[in-house]
Amino acid sequence: MLHKLWDRIIYRDPRFYAAFPSVATLADGSVVVAFRRARDHRWLHGHRPPAGHEDFGSVDHLDVRSHLALQRLSDDMEPLGEPSMLPPDPEAADQDASLLVLRDGRLIVAGFCWYPVSAAHVGTLRAMGVGLAGSPERTGCQFIFWGGYTRVSADGGRSWSPHRFLPVVPDLPDLVPELRPYLGGPVRGRMVEASDGTIHLASYAVRPEGGRHVALHHASTDGGDSWTYRGVIAEDKDGAAGFCEPALQCLADGRLVAFHRTFGLEDRLATSISHDGGRSWERWTVHGVVGHPTDACALPDGRVLLVYGYRHAPYGVRARLWNPERQSIDETEEFIIRDDAPSPDVGYPWASVTPDGRILVVYYIADGRGIRHVEASLLALTP
């Protein structure tokens, strides 16, 4: 069973929208939290509206200064000083942060980028067939999805390799015709290192025909120095269901499982299973678990902790303990970590086992003034 010990603020600043965190326990036992940080302009006019006000949720996932930040924690899981900012891509804004500690002790972060475009170029780019997100009124400019990437640190996140963009997905159109191919897709979800040393990473993409969300598989056999596109994990060619923000986990019996956020399936979890290291995938299975996206943290006893955001009243974060050898996911019992969020803009949890065997779950949440920030809950396993 699960028992919650406490909730704690990891990072909060009224001038920033902090969200989409991940957490990792490093080889030396220290714990780091990575998250996306972007400007929240509401501080400029002193307006922090209460819950329910029309401006309470007026923050956006697109910002030209969006970047990744890394917060170190003490042995007691208290923030140690201010977070450090990962060097940004020279052209594009960084989004999301997905951490993995390799067996050799190195730290990998995966994310994706948005390329900002001024209004003067929008018409020309649209005529070329370039997809644009955002609006000048809301986000200051518009953005081109620029690709998914990974970065590697050999010193616990103090320094990082340059952005290494994922390989071209061959059956998707160029991001910019003949100039920028479709590189990997957005990444939000746990990578995993298999027993043979292969690192598996999942991304997602939107098919231009019909707007279908599909989950994609990438792999590295050289410790994350290079990546190969392996193919599609899950896709509904009839267009009724969509799959995105996939997280991966290896089970003790060798199965590789992908956990999907879904569209068109009433916000229910879907999973895909591979019995051959991701070379092929079974058709997805839809579960009764409601919420998104799901992180799957392997526990030392072979069980898996599933944590997910819950964007239905009461808003918050939930969890389930899953024993893959003895039960199906739908047989697990739901545990409420938080149910006090003031808005549905909450979640994206990520879990890590701490050196003392407890579990730290990080997520983002809004406070009563609408300031999005990163919090954590410490969980203990009880008999």
Nearest partner of 143 among 178, 93, 90, judged by Cα: 93
For strands 199-206 and 213-220, give the pairing: antiparallel
Q: What is the pLDDT along the chain (383 residues), one digit of tens a residue?
A: 999 999 999 999 999 999 999 999 999 999 999 999 999 988 888 877 777 777 777 788 899 999 999 999 999 999 999 999 999 999 999 999 999 999 999 999 999 999 999 999 999 999 999 999 998 888 889 999 999 999 999 999 999 999 999 999 999 999 999 999 999 999 999 999 999 999 999 999 999 887 899 999 999 999 999 999 999 999 998 889 999 999 999 999 999 999 999 999 999 999 999 999 999 999 999 999 999 999 999 999 999 999 999 999 999 999 999 999 999 999 999 999 999 999 999 999 999 999 999 999 999 999 988 999 999 999 999 87
Give CA–CA dist 339/362, Å, rounded: 15
With H, G, I as helix, E, B as strand and everything else as coil, classify residue 116: strand
Are the C-beta atoms of residues 143 and 116 closer than 8 Å to each other? yes
Are the C-beta atoms of residues 306 and 320 closer than 8 Å to each other? yes
Give CA–CA dist 103/106, Å, rounded: 7
For residue 13, the one-letter residue type is D
pTM of the predicted protein model = 0.96
DSSP string for residues in 46-89: T--PPTTSTTTT---S--TT-EEEEEEE-TTS-B-SSPEEPPPP
Give CA–CA dist 87/352, Å, rounded: 25
3-state helix, strand, coil in the chain (%, to 5): 5, 50, 45
Give CA–CA dist 253/269, Å, rounded: 22
pLDDT of the residue at 366: 94
Give CA–CA dist 355/335, Å, rounded: 23
